[in-house]
Chains A and B, each alone.
Chain A
Amino acid sequence: MSARSDETLATAPGAPHPAAQRDPSRFRPRLAARRRGGTIFHLVTLAATLVGVFVLALLLVDIIRDGAGLLSTDFLRNSPSRLASRSGLRPALWGTVWIMVITAVFAFPLGVGTAVWLQEYAPDNRFTRLVQTNISNLAGVPSIVYGILGLAVFVRAFALGRSVLAGALTLALLVLPVIIIAAQEALKAVPSSIRLGSYALGATRWETVRYHVFPLALPGILTGTILALSRAIGEAAPLLLIGALAFVDFVPRSPTDPFTVVPIQIFNWVSKPQPSFHQLAAAASIVLLVVLLGMNAAAILLRNRYSRKN
């Protein structure tokens, strides 16, 4: 800038101040224009954020408008029929319950067990890293590919047919990576000082996990599991492959029975040309969203209650 850069500020009084060498006109800050641009940008990004919110609201309003009128105990008690006015959600609801319970029974122990092994037991070597990477990749595989796997392995190779069990096992594999990742996070959050304190008293690794680490991580693990299951509840694609029939009019009575679930029933109804069936799809969507709301609320309550406790 200044040619006389070795001038110090303590020059003799009366000497020209070095600041006089500066030429403000060489900078054009154009503050007002930049401020204006900034404000516009601020509004643009806010608008972008609100677009999603707006569309969500639109979707909810649309569904409620289309389907709310059909919500009744009859709707929940009837089975699907060729007449829209007599169709109901009962087999699909029960099918969903069956599937969810059995999925949880398989996915929870497998997922938590894998997470415990990865976090507490596995040495830090290439094999462990491979397992970890594999799980991350599995989380990104399209759900329909899990359906293909389930079809070939559970329906055919294990000869389970188009049953609740085959569907539940497939969904269990689908949500397994999600549960593992969530459980790992919960385990990681337990402070290492607790583990050290336990080991120093002569506890084995299993005793440390069982009596200290796991109880502390449990709320987080449960929250993650509920959220994982709430994703599974809305899945239709893999179960289409398994052969969840859309025209099931009975409630499954054992894990080997055929079944349908609410999302597939919605799919079936919306695929029909008649608007009266579309309304049924909307009503079923409301039911599904209400269930999801409940599950997510439970998960959040659980998380808040335990984070406040600590």
Chain B
Amino acid sequence: MSDSILQPPGDIELEARNLSVLYSEARAVKEISIRIPDRKVVAFIGPSGCGKSTLLRCFNRMNDLIPGARVEGEALFQGQNLYGPGVDAVDVRRRIGMVFQKPNPFPKSIYDNVAFGPRINGYRGDLDELVERSLHDAALWDEVKDRLDQSALALSGGQQQRLCIARSLAVEPEVLLMDEPASALDPLATQKIEDLIFELKQQYTVVIVTHNMQQAARVSEYTAFLYMGELIEYGLTEEMFTNPREERTEAYITGRFG
């Protein structure tokens, strides 16, 4: 099976080593080992319930918040185990950001949404400049620059999601984890998000969970196919979609199940 799991070249930003996640006895992620290279986009695909979101959440310690969830194995960030003793989950989450499936802006102003993260993390510097830069990087600045103090809830779904991305960028993370970021959006908004991801990967490592295979094919350089908590295949996106090595991968990609 290890033939089907690629060992990508270059610097490795995130790595899982025999990583398992158990929800009170049920194993949602089964001893997965995978390497995410620096400043590339990696897509996790697979049918519902295959564990791709759970695996994603390991990398920013969000599974800690689920009562009864237990993690075994290692999840490494730049070589250090995120679950090691003395590792501060709060610090991890600043440096490894997350965007959720359904946009979840705070019921505050656009400015305050973006400024919240820097404020609590004690940002020293020009907050206005940081907010503007973050909104620029999230391709939202032009649309909101005149109404920064308006409620974030007045934005459209696609705008709200880009706001959530801006908010995550404002704490200057090194990795962006995106859990089906466009699945709640219309095609036009989805397009904008995908274009954004293409820009973001120049500065950030991006891991995106998606159930939309065309999206994975469009935005990612590497793709991982998960099934029932196991990593079935991992490789260059182009190769996986044209010439998958595993039968199950091919079955999923051609739509025979999922």
* Partner-B contacts on A (CB < 8 A): 123-124, 191, 193-194, 196-204, 207, 211-212, 216, 310
Contacts and interface: CB of A to CB of B under 8 A. Distances in A.
Interface stretch (B25-33, B116-124, B194-202, B215-223): B116-124
B104 A194 contact: yes
Interface in B16-74: 60, 62, 65, 67
Max chain B C-beta neighbours (<10 A), residue from A200, A202, A310: A200
A42 B221 CA distance: 69
Nearest to A204: B90
Interface stretch (B164-172, B224-232, B235-243): B164-172
A198 B100 contact: no
A200 B116 contact: no
Given A202-B94, A203-B120, A211-B116, A197 B100 contact: yes
Interface of B: 60, 62, 65, 67, 90-95, 97-98, 100, 102, 104-107, 116-117, 120-121, 164, 167-168, 171
B67 to A, nearest CB: 5
A201 B60 CA distance: 10
Contacts of B106: 194, 197-198, 212
Contacts of A124: 67
B67 A196 contact: no
A200 B90 contact: no
Nearest to B117: A201
A269 B167 CA distance: 64
B168 A200 contact: yes
A41 to B, nearest CB: 47
A200 B107 contact: no
The 8 closest A-B pairs by CB, nearest first: A202-B94, A193-B104, A201-B117, A200-B98, A202-B93, A197-B104, A207-B120, A202-B90
A197 B93 CA distance: 11
